[in-house]
Structure 1
Amino acid sequence: MPTATTVPADPTVGGHHGWRVVTALAITSTIGYGTLYYAYPVLLTPMATSIGSSTAAVTGALTASVLTSALMAIPVGRWLDHHGGRALMTTGSIIATALLIAWSQVHTIGQLYAVMIGIGACGAMVLYEPAFAVIVSLFTPDRRATALLAVTIVAGFASAVFMPLTGLLTEHLGWRGALLVLAAIHGTVTVPLHAMTVRKPRPTGTAPAGPVRRAHPGRRAVVHAAMRDSRFWILTATFTAHGLATSTMTVHLIGYLISRGHPATFAATATGLLGVLSVTGRLVLTAARRHLRVSTVVAAVYATQAAAVLAMPLLAATRTGAIISVIGFGLGFGITSLATPALLTEQYGTTAYATIAGRLAAPVTVAKATGPLAAAALLHISVGYAPLLVGVATCCALAAIGVTARAKVLAAANQQDDSLGLVGITDVGRDGGTGGDRGRTN
């Protein structure tokens, strides 16, 4: 049997300083998502009226921003692995603050697109992906899951805090004044926190599991091995399908509930539950992974989402039924953000985590950006929401199948290694590792 040895990502970190970093990143992620992303829907209509453009054209600027973030994910990941997050996140915060100010001064649709493309690039430098990379590099597996959960729980309330705040500021100061206040909040909080708390860890890392662990390769070799690994591409396809489903439902759920005869206020309130349920799903994953494989929990949640969407035509006619179906879907709304670092570090270690995570994030983010647009086109040519619901349920089902297939391929590879008597170093220790699946084959 191969021996799994737990190797700290940085043996000097994970104590008081490590948790100070977690606190700082929880705050900066919340403010970053609140100002750079969630403020946009609130400002959409007044912006369109002010600059004399259609809401569709203004919405396209946000899509351009998300696509830019996807393109930036790969070079940002590479930078994080080589240089750490301090300079990158601090610079990104400074530029993002300047762009929020510039956003408040746009007068044409072209200026808005230019600003939002810049904000998309900054988002890749300051939001979840770089924050997770910093945490993965700082914490040993037994503490990493708790650290990641803390950040995502706090940041999960970004929409609940900043959408009402932006609405209140817009009501009293106008959309331009609201952006200036948001820029002040962003700049005065995120810049010093990134500059003063994030630091580059010692280059200790951990070696990957599986076939690439034999020679204890360097960062480049780990990345190349991951790109040749079928399990990476299965995982990428899985999370891409799931991202497509979640983004589509986020945008079109209100319209669907209204089409079933519910008032707009109820539809918006029910859809707003998705943000709260994203936190619930993350808590469920963190608790369940102590007893079950991560892949088992994720596959079960994705399958539940598929069933909930398929049940909507039967349940959503009543308020109770609509809430039940939304809860069923919402439990998986934020689970991927925690599953990604768990599954990637389990398979490839921490040495090249940010680079590999960036390559996975790029197609997932593209799917999230384009999914709602494709769904809108489908609604335009179809009668009712049935084809859209079938498509979303299919994506969730494929995601569940993908997680299960990846687990089976990994188990087969581990059995082969057992038969060869390979000994390796991985992130996952049977007695304390929670970076993957508590020492179980996944």
Structure 2
Amino acid sequence: MLYLGVSQFVAWGISYYLIGALGDAMSAGLGWSRTVVHGGFAASLLVMGVVSSAAGRCVDRWGGRQVMVAGSLLLAVACLALAAAQGVAAYYAAWVVMGVAMRLTLYDAAFAALAHWLGPKARRPMAQITLLGGLASSAFWPAGHALAGAWGWRGALVVYAVLALLMVPLHLALPRRAPQVLRAAELAGPTDAAPLIGGEPPAIAGARRTLAGALFAAMTTLVNFLNAGMSAHTVGLLAGLGLALPWAVGIASLRGVGQSSARLADVLWGGRWHPLALGAGAALLLPLACLAGLWSGQVLAAALVFVLAYGAGNGLLTITRGTVPLVLFDHRTYGAQVGRLVAPGFVLSACAPVVYAAVIDHAGAAAALWLSVGVAVLAFGVALALWIGFTPGARRSSTNP
């Protein structure tokens, strides 16, 4: 798990959080608007949605090792292509490659690999690998700013490409196939899933399966949209609300501390919570955090609450994105099933960086935070419906008139 955790830390830092660290420097260096620059990141998220189902099927067929090695190589290519880009076409083409690479290396690929290796017992390892991944923003936002200040944003991207290549041996160290413990667990039958879901088989069928999938996809879509906007613009939001840029960068970087702290708590004590209940509780933190953020420019403590609480909620929801499908669906087709359900989230979140940039430019940072509150409230409502409708008790009552 250590190799996979370290690779997630690096992969998130040099891809998903790239635009938050280097976006302003790229905009100034290229002479382009914030909307055009962040549009590249939006394109990569759109590509992630387009290739999501195919990527999931690839993990089901060939395993996480081969898929994630290929993703690491593509990350290096994308970073070098961005560093060399001069025109808009080359810039966006590099982000298209980045989108494919992110889908093959980030959590959804890693979770699918763990589901194949460990089956219903993958919940704890899923939480464990997110501990380091959650610190990526805390490390790479200030590191990216420092690298851009020392060597320019193009030089920073060359460093990122080197880091991507260093992930290849980490992924090569992953298992080629499911370990013997998984094969034994599958032979033992569905009762092995009992520790995860309170003694009931995880899979549901028929109309309830369709409804569960729709709610899971809706929750993932809303959370991804919010996360994409926040990942690209947290520093800009805090600065727009009145914080000096060094303070904005420093406080925004604490998001990773909130994420990993919440994930550590889940590793230590999360087994007491059903994944659906954990998802609803985590989703509640998002609107509360965004409301606190509205006072970030006047009260420093509000900025800290905003970043840490949002990080905690988002960090836990990342785990539930991996564990909830283990409760609802068959782990043997995890990659294809989840790939299909999370695809809308990637597609819609592709709009988020551009939407947030436009809102900030035309209505200000406070308006962008009110947008965040609205999206977060919707995400909480869907998570609550999923919890109420698909807890083990609800499942029993629906099958026994």
Instruction: Give unpaired runs (5+ residues) of structure 2.
Output: 194-200
Structure-2 change in CA distance of 1:197 and 1:330 (3 Å): closer
Q: CA offsets, 1:248-286, max 9 Å, x none?
A: 344444444445443333233222221211112223334
State the aligned residue count.
386
**How big is the shift at 1:344?**
0.5
Distance 1:41 1:248, change over 3 A: closer
Alpha-carbon distance in 1 for matches of 2:162, 2:306:
40
Q: How does 1:415-434 map to 2 (within 5 A)?
A: 415-417=397-399, 419=400
Moved more, 79-88 or 289-298: 289-298
Tell me the residue number matched to 2:245: 264
Distance 2:243 2:55 in 1: 43
> CA deviation digits over 1:86-106, x for unaligned, max 9?
222222222332333333322
Q: What is the rounded CA distance, in whole Å, between the counterparts of 2:371 and 2:230 in structure 1?
A: 11
1:101 aligns with 2:74: no
Query: Which deviations, in whole Å up to 9, do the C-alpha atoms of 1:149-191 show, x marking residues without a partner?
Result: 221111222233334444444444444343333323321x222
1:205-354 equivalences under 5 Å are: 229-313=210-294, 317-354=298-335
| Alignment match of 1:180 (pick from 147, 158, 176) | 158
Are residues 1:151 and 2:132 paired?
no
Secondary structure of 1:334 counterpart: helix
Higher CA-based Rg: 1
1:207 and 1:348 in contact (8 A); partners too: no
Whole-Å Cα distance in 1 between the matches of residues 386 and 157 of structure 2? 44
In 2, the alpha carbon distance for the partners of 1:226 and 1:193 equals: 41
- Asked if structure 2 preserves the Cα contact closer than 8 Å seen for 1:93 and 1:126, the reply is yes
> What SS does the corresponding residue of 1:336 show, helix, strand or coil?
helix
Aligned with 1:412 (options 388, 391, 394): 394
**3-state SS of 1:332 partner:** helix
2:84 match: secondary structure: coil
Quick one: distance in 2 between partners of 1:48 and 1:248? 17
Counterpart in the other structure of 1:200: 177
Distance in 2 (alpha carbons) for counterparts of 1:33 and 1:130: 13
Q: Which amino acid aligns with 2:61?
A: H
Structure-1 separation of matches of 2:50 and 2:39 = 17
| Alignment deviations for residues 393-423 of structure 1 (CA, whole Å, 9 cap, x no partner) | 2322222222221223224333344x39xxx
What is the TM-score of this pair, normalised by structure 2? 0.83
Partner of 1:39: 18
Q: What 5-or-longer segments of structure 1 have no aligned partner? A: 1-21, 210-215, 217-221, 421-442
Q: Could you say which structure has the higher helix fraction?
A: 2
Is 1:116 the counterpart of 2:98 in the alignment?
A: no
Deviates more, 1:228-237 or 1:92-101: 92-101
Label 1:169 to 1:327 Cα distance change in 2 as closer, same or farther (>3 A).
Answer: closer
User: Is contact 1:226–1:232 with CA below 8 Å preserved after alignment?
Assistant: no
1:135 pairs with 2:114: yes
Coordinate RMSD, CA, aligned? 3.3
Q: Which moved more, 1:353-362 or 1:189-198?
A: 189-198
Q: Secondary structure at the match of 2:85?
A: coil
TM-score, length-scaled by structure 1? 0.76
Of 83, 91, 95 in structure 1, the residue corresponding to residue 70 of structure 2 is 91
AA aligned opposite 2:340: R
What are the Cα deviations for residues 317-350 of structure 1, in whole angstroms up to 9, with x where unaligned?
Answer: 2212332343333320221211012110011131
| SS at 1:229 equivalent | helix
Note if contact 1:44-1:58 (Cα within 8 Å) is conserved in structure 2. Answer: yes
Amino acid at match of 1:375: Y
Aligned 1:363-378 pairs, distance under 5 A: 363-378=344-359
**C-alpha distance in 1 between matches for 2:29 and 2:68:** 32
Could you say if the C-alpha distance between residues 111 and 363 of structure 1 is closer, same or farther in structure 2, counting changes exceeding 3 Å?
A: same
- Identity over aligned pairs, percent: 25
Structure 1 stretch 74-83 or stretch 54-63: which is displaced more?
Answer: 54-63
Task: Report the counterpart of residue 68 of structure 1 in structure 2.
Answer: 47
Q: Kindly provide the amino acid, as one letter, of the partner of residue 408 in structure 1.
A: I
Q: How does 1:365-404 map to 2 (within 5 A)?
A: 365-379=346-360, 382=363, 387-404=367-384
CA 1:286/1:108 → structure 2, altered by over 3 Å: closer, same or farther? same
Find the aligned partners of 1:76 and 1:380 in 2 and give their Cα distance.
35
CA gap 1:63/1:355 in 2 versus in 1, 3 angstroms: same
**Any idea what the Cα deviations from partners look like across 1:329-382, whole Å, max 9, x if unmatched?**
332022121101211001113111111111222122233332242234445565
CA offset at residue 30 of structure 1?
1.9
> For 1:266 and 1:165, how far apart are their aligned partners in 2?
15
Tell me the CA shift for residue 40 of structure 1.
Answer: 3.8
**1:120, distance to aligned residue in structure 2 (A):** 1.0
Give me the whole-angstrom Cα distance separating, in 2, the residues matched to 1:161 and 1:326.
15
Question: Which AA in structure 2 matches 1:395?
Answer: V
